[in-house]
Amino acid sequence: MKTKMIFLMAAIILIAGCSKKQKTTEASNPVATEVSNLKPVTGAFGYNLGDKVSGEIDDYIIVKDTPPFQELSIERTSDDRICRISGSGIVNEDEDALHDNQKRLVAVLTEKYGARDRIGEEKWATQVNDVDLYFGTENRAAHLGIKYSETNQFITVDYYDKELEGIYNTEQESKNKTDDENKKAALSKGL
């Protein structure tokens, strides 16, 4: 009887502890699980997803007026429509400043697009950063990735159009296949 009573009390304590931990985790998570407030991402750094880039544009651009980002990259489909805009930067500050920086980024992206959990294909993506947060809709989204080291944080933010990115990836696969076939043909001639 004593054993049953001890087991019952341990189970109640375990259930109460797990319930309290889950509530604490949900409250401390900066990403809302409600998706009703989501807005599609339009673009960033002066570029809009889906716009055609007129004229020459470098794939990598140095950014000076949008801290903490120092570098910008743009991916385009073969007809020059922007499918992905990525900003990256390294912040070298003390721990409190790094945390404040993260809070500001999350607040701005949440206000503009709405925060959400991983959905769709993102659910299966491996988390490679210390922070991986998503904003906007599934088709037009922003991903904030932060990787911490002892003295700094590496920050990336990717804005993407899922449909255009699918076109871009198909085009790249085709290009890579053609390049590989050409290299094999050149090698075959020499052997």
**Is residue 19 in some structural domain?**
no
In a domain, 117, yes or no: yes
* Closest to 101 measured CA to CA, from 131, 71, 122, 129: 131
Kindly give the pairing relationship between strand 82-91 and strand 43-44: unpaired
Q: Which residues of the chain have pLDDT under 50?
A: 1-34
DSSP-derived 3-state class of residue 91 = strand
What per-residue confidence (pLDDT) applies to 185?
87
Domain assignment present for residue 125? The answer is yes
CB 169 within 8 A of CB 58: no
Residue 27: its pLDDT value, please? 37
Instruction: Give residue 81's pLDDT.
Output: 94
pTM above 0.85, yes or no: no
Residues 86-126 have pLDDT tens digits of 999 988 877 777 788 889 999 999 999 999 876 656 555 66
The answer as to whether 25 is a domain residue is no
| pLDDT at residue 119 in the model | 60
Residue 18 placed within a domain: no
**Which pLDDT value is given to residue 73?**
93
Number of domain units in the chain: 1
| Residue 9 located in a structural domain | no
Residue 64 located in a structural domain:
yes
26 domain-assigned = no
Q: Provide the domain limits for residue 137.
A: 33-190
